[in-house]
C-alpha cells in the first residue's frame, strides 16, 4: 500500500493510502459536506490554498467530464476522502476521477476516518496542514504545517484572477435530454465581471438571463470598467481573506451609484468592506450544499450551496444605508444585503451552484431587473 500522511499544525496526524499524485502539498485543511459535485469542488478557484476533506464516504463513483469543470484547472491543494471508487458508472463520465487528479498533480489520501477528522476541525477550528505521499516522518510534517502562512491576511484572489480580459456568451447546457432548461434570450445587457476567482457556472447563469459578459482582472480600475460601457457590474467569488484587497474595495466604492452591482461570496464580502463594514474569519467555515438561508424579504427559506471561510459582521454595517436581506438559519451569520439608495445587492452563498441546489436562481433575474430599471 502506498502510504500517505495528513499532519495538522496542532500535532494531530492521520495516516492512509495515497492514490493521487505522489506529491506533498500544504494548505488550510477544510471540509465540504456536499453529497455530489466533487469535480466542481476540485476546480473551484475559491479552494486555492486549501486541502479539502469530503464528508461523503465514497468519492469518484460517477467519474469526471469536461463540462463540469468550474475553471480551466484544478485549484485544491490536496484531497482527503474515506473511500475512493476505482470505477466510474455514469453515462457522462469520460475520465476516472483518480486519473483526473493524478494528471493535475493533486495528492489524495484515502482510507482514513473522515468523521473523526471533521469532528476534530469542528471542535478546534480549521487549521494548517500538510498532505504528503513522500515523507513518512509525521513530526517533520507537523513542523512544516506550523510554518505555512495563515489564511487570515492572505490575498489569494489576485493570484487566481485572469491576466487578460475575455468575453463569455455561453449559456447553461442541459445535462440530459430530460433536464428542462429554457432557451437563453439574445444578449440584451453587457455585464463587466470582476474575476476574483470566478466560476464558469456564474458566467453561464449570466448568459442564461440574457447577458454578454466581459471578464476583467481583479485589479482593473473603475475607470477602465466604465469605459467598457457596462449595464451592470458583477463581483465574483474567490479565495482568501477579503481584508487585504483594499485596491479592489477602492474600485468598488468608485462604481457604487454609477451602475447596478451584484456580488457573490467574496464579492459580497468586498461590498461589505466598501460600505464601511468589517469581516471576520469563521471557526470552520461554511462549505456544503444544504445550508438553510432565510430570505427576509419573502420570508421563504432557501436551501443553498456555500463555500467560504470569512463573513461580514452584520453589526458593522450602517442600517441607514444597508438592508440585511438574507440570514443563515444554522448560525445566524449574514448571507445577503442590499443598499437602500443605490442598485447594489449581494449574497454570501452561491445561487449559481452546480450541481445544485437551485432555489436561488432568481437572483440573476433580479440583477437583470436592476439593469433594466437603470436603463430607463
- pLDDT tens track for 232-272: 999 999 999 999 999 999 999 999 999 999 999 999 999 99
Residue 364: HSE in the Cβ half-sphere, 13 Å Cα cutoff: 23
Identify the active-site residue in 200, 306, 308, 350. 350
335 in active site: no
**What does the alpha-carbon distance between residue 214 and residue 169 come to, in Å, rounded to a whole number?**
9
265 in active site: yes
Asked if pLDDT for residue 210 goes beyond 90, the answer is yes
- pLDDT tens track for 353-367: 988 999 999 999 999
Q: What is the mean predicted confidence (pLDDT) over 134-154? A: 95
Q: Which fold has domain 157-375?
A: Rossmann fold (3.40.50)
Asked if pLDDT for residue 176 goes beyond 80, the answer is no
Are 3-146 and 157-375 in the same CATH fold?
Answer: no
What end-to-end distance do the CA atoms of the chain give, in Å? 67
- For residue 328, the model assigns a pLDDT of 98
350 in active site: yes
- For residue 1, the model assigns a pLDDT of 58
Q: What is the DSSP letter of 350?
A: B
Contacts of 72 (CB under 8 A, 6+ apart): none
- For residue 115, the model assigns a pLDDT of 97
- For residue 181, the model assigns a pLDDT of 80
Closest CA to 25 of 128, 160, 153: 128
pTM: 0.96
Domain ranges of the chain: 3-146, 157-375
- For residue 261, the model assigns a pLDDT of 98
Q: What is the mean predicted confidence (pLDDT) over 16-30? A: 95
- For residue 182, the model assigns a pLDDT of 83
- pLDDT tens track for 261-302: 999 999 999 999 999 999 999 999 999 999 999 999 999 999
Identify the active-site residue in 70, 77, 243, 352. 352
Closest CA to 116 of 75, 55, 58: 55
Asked if pLDDT for residue 347 goes beyond 80, the answer is yes
Identify the active-site residue in 265, 286, 291, 339. 265
Contacts of 110 (CB under 8 A, 6+ apart): 16, 17, 19, 80, 81, 82, 83, 84
Contacts of 74 (CB under 8 A, 6+ apart): 42, 43, 100, 101, 104, 106
128 is written with which cell numbers? Answer: 494548517
Q: What is the mean predicted confidence (pLDDT) over 40-69? A: 96
Q: What percent of the chain has pLDDT over 90?
A: 94
Structural domain 3-146, CATH architecture: 3-Layer(bba) Sandwich (3.50)
Which residue(s) pair with 336 in the sheet?
326, 347
Amino acid at each position: 500500500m502506498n502510504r500517505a500522511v495528513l499532519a495538522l499544525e496542532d500535532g494531530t496526524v492521520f495516516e492512509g493510502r495515497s492514490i493521487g499524485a505522489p506529491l506533498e502539498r500544504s494548505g488550510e485543511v477544510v471540509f465540504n459536506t456536499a453529497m455530489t459535485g466533487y469535480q466542481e469542488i476540485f476546480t473551484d478557484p475559491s479552494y486555492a490554498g486549501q486541502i479539502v476533506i469530503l464528508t461523503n464516504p465514497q468519492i469518484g463513483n460517477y467519474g469526471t467530464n469536461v463540462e463540469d469543470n468550474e475553471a480551466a484547472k484544478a485549484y485544491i491543494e490536496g484531497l482527503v476522502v474515506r473511500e475512493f471508487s476505482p470505477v466510474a458508472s455514469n453515462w457522462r463520465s469520460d475520465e476516472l476521477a483518480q486519473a483526473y487528479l493524478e494528471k493535475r498533480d493533486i495528492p489524495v489520501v484515502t482510507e482514513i476516518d473522515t468523521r473523526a477528522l471533521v469532528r476534530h476541525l469542528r471542535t478546534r477550528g480549521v487549521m494548517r496542514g500538510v498532505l504528503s505521499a513522500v515523507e513518512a516522518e509525521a513530526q517533520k510534517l507537523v513542523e512544516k504545517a506550523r510554518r505555512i502562512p495563515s489564511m487570515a491576511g492572505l490575498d489569494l484572489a489576485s493570484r487566481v484572477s485572469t491576466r487578460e480580459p475575455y468575453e463569455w456568451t455561453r449559456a447553461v447546457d442541459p445535462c440530459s435530454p430530460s433536464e428542462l432548461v429554457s432557451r437563453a434570450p439574445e444578449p440584451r445587457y453587457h455585464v463587466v465581471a470582476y474575476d476574483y476567482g470566478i466560476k464558469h457556472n456564474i458566467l453561464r447563469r449570466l448568459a442564461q438571463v440574457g447577458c454578454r459578459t466581459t471578464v476583467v482582472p481583479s485589479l482593473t480600475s473603475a475607470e477602465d470598467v466604465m469605459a467598457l460601457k457596462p449595464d451592470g457590474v458583477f463581483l465574483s467569488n474567490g479565495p482568501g481573506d477579503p481584508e487585504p484587497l483594499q485596491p479592489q474595495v477602492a474600485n468598488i466604492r468608485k462604481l457604487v451609484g454609477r451602475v447596478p452591482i451584484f456580488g457573490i461570496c467574496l464579492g459580497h464580502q468586498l461590498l461589505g468592506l466598501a460600505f464601511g463594514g468589517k469581516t471576520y474569519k469563521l471557526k470552520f467555515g461554511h462549505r456544503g450544499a444544504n445550508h438553510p438561508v432565510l430570505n427576509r424579504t419573502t420570508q421563504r427559506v432557501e436551501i443553498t450551496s456555500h463555500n467560504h471561510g470569512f463573513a461580514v459582521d452584520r453589526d458593522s454595517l450602517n442600517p441607514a444605508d444597508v438592508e440585511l436581506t438574507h440570514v443563515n438559519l444554522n448560525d445566524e451569520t449574514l448571507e445577503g444585503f442590499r443598499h437602500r439608495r443605490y442598485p447594489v445587492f449581494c449574497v454570501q452563498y452561491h445561487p449559481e451552484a452546480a450541481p445544485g441546489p437551485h432555489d436561488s436562481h432568481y437572483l440573476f433575474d433580479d440583477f437583470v431587473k436592476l439593469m433594466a430599471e437603470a436603463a430607463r
